[in-house]
Structure 1
């Protein structure tokens, strides 16, 4: 079962694994910041399990080109990211059976931070509790879930098995 760790411990682990890259999403795409559990990948997109999450089963869609604003992202690339986020949400619903999923493009407006990036990306987050709210799901104040490599791989495998049917 995944383990809930304090925010400070999560930040320490993230920095120990990958330092403070210029762009966290680009570093993830290049496999420079710890293990990457890819569900789907092609030349322009990475669909993956972020390893520090507020809800177990969280998926992230990352365009591979470095883009930090909607003004600079190619509309076809962003449409593809959203199509993959929709497919990922269907997969999460099929495998995890949450009450619902949040799908959101979030990131830092202040520049690169240890747990976020200006690089555009989309989160697909399963919600399990009736009182789950965005402030709970998008804040690390109450801790972060982490898993063992075996737990991540088991989740990745279950998602991969459901990906094409989603």
Structure 2
């Protein structure tokens, strides 16, 4: 970040920059090589490489500043049009790894020329394919909820967390008498079948318990998202899934739960006992 030229501008260390305005959130200035006269840049004071890294408040301040510059350019330069451009990544022509918004006054026949290609030849199938992916992954920001709505939403999520924790505890409670009865019978009567029954019961209850604890973790994550005001969570929604969830990520989450202290010591002990009962019965 110390090498970021825009951070140097924010800190007032670049004497060559023609600064227009600043406040506690943004700085507005002319780039050293403006595309047209009046070309302005708005940058957040906090260093962030990509637009998606900005907080909701920072986005609001940056775009409000860009809107203010539009009005200023209309008065000062009398442009025939205005571009507001925000680029992310080298492929999108971002040359400085610090979020910035270009505000450019435009005139017919200016040096910038055409920005968009005059036409494209993408097939309808290509468009529909991308459309389906975007629909599956797009969640528009929800309107701001008041404190009481948020409290109720958190209460619903907490109720689900409590139920999952109770279900996990119940799975262990039900396994204890089942395992005690089957393994005890297998030891005293040398019954292979009953030993196998106890092992199968242990595995089934373990799988159920893993599912309960994994779901509890997901709802705890949802609780945190609600508490922090994540706009990707619709009001009163208890859908814990996120756009990045896949079958692979779900499998990895289940595997992670298997290594938890609430799972492997408890069920490993019963599995070892079952294997010993099975071997003894043989």
Which of the numbers 58, 62, 65 marks the counterpart of 1:81? 62
Q: Relative contact order, CA 8 A, sep 6+: which one is greater? A: 1
Q: Which residue of 1 aligns with 2:197?
A: none
The answer to whether the Cα contact below 8 Å between 1:107 and 1:116 also exists between their aligned partners in 2 is no
Aligned residues: 112
Q: Which residue of 2 aligns with 1:53?
A: 34
Per-residue deviation, residues 111-166 of structure 1 (Å, max 9, x unmatched): xx9x931211111011122573227xxxxxxxxxxxxxxxxxxxxxxxxxxxxxxx
Tell me how far apart the structure 1 counterparts of residues 66 and 86 of structure 2 sit (CA, whole Å). Answer: 10
Per-residue deviation, residues 51-76 of structure 1 (Å, max 9, x unmatched): 21110111111101001123321111
Unaligned residue ranges in structure 2 (runs of 5+): 117-282
Please say if 1:105 is aligned against 2:86: yes
Tell me how far apart the structure 1 counterparts of residues 13 and 87 of structure 2 sit (CA, whole Å). Answer: 22
Q: Which residue of 2 aligns with 1:95?
A: 76
Secondary structure in structure 2 of the residue aligned to 1:134: coil
Secondary structure in structure 2 of the residue aligned to 1:94: helix
Tell me how far apart the structure 2 counterparts of residues 127 and 59 of structure 1 sit (CA, whole Å). Answer: 12
TM-score w.r.t. length of structure 1: 0.59
The answer to whether the Cα contact below 8 Å between 1:61 and 1:122 also exists between their aligned partners in 2 is yes
Higher Cα Rg, which structure: 2
Q: Which runs of 4+ in 1 moved over 4 A?
A: none
Which of the numbers 87, 96, 106 marks the counterpart of 1:117? 96
The structure where strand makes up a greater share of residues is 1
Tell me how far apart the structure 1 counterparts of residues 115 and 13 of structure 2 sit (CA, whole Å). Answer: 30
Tell me how far apart the structure 2 counterparts of residues 116 and 30 of structure 1 sit (CA, whole Å). Answer: 20
After superposition, residues 1-166 of structure 1 pair within 5 angstroms as 22-106=3-87, 108-109=89-90, 116-130=95-109, 132-134=113-115
Secondary structure in structure 1 of the residue aligned to 2:21: strand
Give the aligned CA root-mean-square deviation in angstroms. 2.4
Tell me how far apart the structure 2 counterparts of residues 107 and 76 of structure 1 sit (CA, whole Å). Answer: 19
Secondary structure in structure 1 of the residue aligned to 2:32: coil
The answer to whether the Cα contact below 8 Å between 2:19 and 2:30 also exists between their aligned partners in 1 is yes
Tell me how far apart the structure 1 counterparts of residues 13 and 88 of structure 2 sit (CA, whole Å). Answer: 19
Secondary structure in structure 2 of the residue aligned to 1:98: coil
Tell me how far apart the structure 1 counterparts of residues 8 and 52 of structure 2 sit (CA, whole Å). Answer: 22
Unaligned residue ranges in structure 1 (runs of 5+): 1-20, 136-166
Tell me how far apart the structure 2 counterparts of residues 49 and 31 of structure 1 sit (CA, whole Å). Answer: 14
The answer to whether the Cα contact below 8 Å between 2:25 and 2:61 also exists between their aligned partners in 1 is no
Alpha-carbon spacing, 1:98–1:82, altered in 2? closer, same or farther (3 Å): same
